[in-house]
Structure 1
Amino acid sequence: MFRYKFTIEYDGAAANAGWQVQPGKISIQSLLSDAAFELSKSKILFYGSGRTDRGVHALGQVAHADFFKSYPLFSLKQGMNFYLTGKKVAIKEVELVSQDFHARFSAKIKTYRYDICMQDYPNVINLKNWRISRNLDIKKMEEESKFLLGVHDFASFRSSHCQAATSIRSIDEINFIIRGNILSVYFVGKSFLHNQIRAMIGTLVDIGMGRQINIKSIMQSKDRKKAGQTAPPGGLFLEKIDFD
């Protein structure tokens, strides 16, 4: 068996099931397996570093898969992309790795980005961004976001459908970058709960719009109802995954 590491880009609209295979639905995982079958004529399973929800995009998702024969890296990349044509999924890079490598368990740090478009007219160019029709108090959002840094119980930002054994997580960095009327918020950490980033973004946006809530008390409550709205999936991108 030959294990390959794939760096993948995809549009969240490509699959109505998100990353993970679900019966009767299209998933990123199944699209990759279908392309690999067309190429190799063998059933190939792809294991991802993280499960992006339906509508969430990736610029640097990583997955591994075991093939029954060896392929030149460029040929494997080109072959997979040929069978993914029109699927809104692309292979950016392929590497041959050892059997010890695991896309999920070998991952050290994940970086997500959420884009918010602040404008009072409909999106035309930035179709995937969450449009907020007013300016946000970004300074206040940045101040409150500092309470999210470090190791905490993030139960207040956890989806009711989350299956994680614990809601304890660690966030290493949160960075705000403004480009014109686009606000990008970056979250860096080892792993995140189901809908955690979207819940944190929704809460920060509520704060930026003047809602009288604060992150510290929300965290202490461990109650999802105390936090803000859940931001829509279209503005969220899995930016990159580091393994070193």
Structure 2
Amino acid sequence: MPRFAFLIEYDGLPFHGWQRQAEGQPSVQAALESALARLDPDGPLVTGAGRTDTGVHATGQVAHADLARDWDPFRLGEALNWHLKPAPVAVLDVARVADDFHARFSAVERRYTFRLVCRRAPVTHDKGRVWQVLNPLDVPAMRAGAAHLVGRHDFTTFRSSICQAASPVKTLDEISITEHLLPSGAEIRFHLRARSFLHNQVRSIVGTLERVGAGAWPPERVAEALEAKNRAACGPVCPPQGLYLTGVRYPVDPFSGGFQ
């Protein structure tokens, strides 16, 4: 059976995360499988590169599925987008891949961006797609705090209590923080890059760094929290709506457009 890879974006607001739910709640995986079932009588299963949580968005999710028919990739993408309507899910690219390609296990890097808006006035166009705080944040202080987290560490402090990963040890390759001016405020974007992440790791890190930016934590307290290896030492976990899975990298890019 031919195997296809899909480059996908979605608005996470109406979904209970990426993963198919036993209770029948809407998920991105179920939406894709439902669309594929309209094209393939065997009802192929879809495997994603990352299991985003409820309310988390994606601009660069990758998935694969084995189909009974050897489709032209362009026509397959067009057909899927037609059958996905009106769900806020779009297939950006489709590629025929080798049988040993695996969206999750073949990945060598995942990238996330978290969007945080600092301003008093409510957000309008980005409501549900950013985390809003009312007061300005100290970006240099947050960068100083984030520097303690880069590298290979035991991230127990920044790991959900229900995380199913075999080990809390991960290598965080990059955290960069950028500031973008807005009318009456600013948007701060946290960009994180690693081979893989623990459950709630990004949201735990951003929530902790927000405390640093607000002046409630000195930057060096981030290092102390990391060293504690204790979930209780973590700052607040920020809400999901500002989080985006922005890219997944493979040894060989399967898509014609590549990743940004």
1:8 CA displacement? 0.5
Quote the residue 2:254 is aligned against.
none
Question: Given the alignment, which residue of 227, 236, 239 partners 2:234?
Answer: 227
Which deviates more from structure 2 when the two are superposed, residues 36-45 or residues 78-87? 36-45
1:44 CA displacement? 0.7
1:189 CA displacement? 0.4
Quote the residue 1:177 is aligned against.
178
Unaligned runs of 5+ in 1: none
Moved over 2 A (4+): none
**Aligned counterparts, 1:20-169, within 5 A:** 20-24=19-23, 25-127=25-127, 128-169=129-170
Distance 1:240 1:96 in 2: 19
Describe the superposition over 1:142-200 as per-residue Cα deviations: whole angstroms up to 9, x where unpaired: 00100100000000001111111110001111111111111111000000000000000
- In the alignment, is the contact (CA less than 8 A) between 1:117 and 1:126 conserved in 2? no
Distance 2:217 2:172 in 1: 24
Which deviates more from structure 2 when the two are superposed, residues 123-132 or residues 182-191? 123-132
Describe the superposition over 1:48-105 as per-residue Cα deviations: whole angstroms up to 9, x where unpaired: 1110001000000000000011111111000000010110111000000000100011
Quote the residue 2:245 is aligned against.
238
Distance 2:14 2:76 in 1: 21
- In the alignment, is the contact (CA less than 8 A) between 2:139 and 2:179 conserved in 1? no
Are positions 1:200 and 2:201 aligned together? no
Quote the residue 1:216 is aligned against.
223
Quote the residue 1:19 is aligned against.
18
Name the SS of the counterpart of 1:83 in structure 2.
helix
Distance 1:103 1:212 in 2: 38
1:211 CA displacement? 1.2
1:14 CA displacement? 3.2
- In the alignment, is the contact (CA less than 8 A) between 1:114 and 1:237 conserved in 2? yes
Identity %: 38
1:224 CA displacement? 1.2
Distance 1:6 1:212 in 2: 42
- In the alignment, is the contact (CA less than 8 A) between 1:157 and 1:199 conserved in 2? yes
Unaligned runs of 5+ in 2: 252-260
Distance 1:144 1:177 in 2: 14
Root-mean-square deviation over aligned CA pairs: 0.9
- In the alignment, is the contact (CA less than 8 A) between 1:14 and 1:89 conserved in 2? no
Quote the residue 1:190 is aligned against.
195
